Amino acid sequence: MPQQKLKGAERFLPNRRTLVTLAEAIPHCRGCDLYRFATQAVFGEGPARASIVLVGEQPGNDEDLQGHPFVGPAGRLLDRAMEDAGIRRSEVYLTNAVKHFKFEERGKRRLHKKPRVSETKACRPWLEAELEAIKPKIVVCLGATAAQTLLGPAFRLTRERGEFFAQPDGSFVTATVHPSAILRAPDEQQRRAQYREFVTDLRRIRQHLARLDRPRAVAG
Domain ranges of the chain: 3-212
Q: Is the dihedral of CA 198, 201, 202, 203 positive or negative?
A: positive
Query: What pairs with residue 54 in β-bridges?
Result: 94, 140
| pLDDT per position as a tens digit, 138-179 | 999 999 999 999 999 999 999 999 999 999 999 999 999 999
The model's confidence at residue 108, banded by pLDDT at 50, 70 and 90, is confident
Distances (CA, A) of 208 to 54, 55, 193, 200, 211: 15, 18, 23, 12, 5
- 10 burial (CB, 10 Å; 0-12 / 13-18 / 19+) is middle
Q: Which of 210, 207, 179 is nearest to 194 (CA)?
A: 179
For residue 142, what are the β-bridge partners? 176
Residue 187: strand, helix, or coil: coil
Q: Model pTM greater than 0.85? A: yes
pLDDT > 90? residue 220: no
Q: In 3D, which of 11, 6, 23, 183 has the Cα closest to residue 95?
A: 23
Give the contacts of 92 (CB within 8 A, at least 6 positions apart): 46, 47, 50, 52, 53, 54, 82
CA nearest to 94, candidates 125, 155, 50: 50
Q: pLDDT band at 214, cuts 50/70/90?
A: confident
98 pLDDT higher than 90: yes
Q: How far apart are CA 219 and CA 109, in angstroms?
A: 62
Nearest of 193, 98, 203, 102 to residue 149 by alpha carbon = 98
CA–CA dist 35, 30 (Å, integer): 7
Strands 172-176 and 138-142: parallel
Look at residue 189 and tell me whether its pLDDT is greater than 70.
Answer: yes
3-212 is a CATH 3.40.50.2000 domain: no
CA atoms 149, 20, 5, 168: torsion sign: negative
**Contact present, 100 and 9 (Cβ < 8 Å):** no
Question: Residue 114: which residues within 8 A CB-CB, separation 6 or more?
Answer: 57, 102, 145
User: Please, what is the average pLDDT of the chain?
Assistant: 94
Q: Which band of pLDDT confidence, cut at 50, 70 and 90, is reported for residue 216? A: low
Quick one: pLDDT band at residue 1, thresholds 50, 70, 90?
A: very low
Rounded Cα gap, residues 211 and 206, in angstroms: 9
Per-residue pLDDT tens for 48-85? 999 999 999 999 999 999 999 999 999 999 999 999 99
Task: Answer whether residue 6 shows pLDDT above 80.
Answer: no
Are residues 141 and 163 in contact, defined by beta-carbon separation less than 8 angstroms? Answer: no
Question: What's residue 171's pLDDT?
Answer: 96
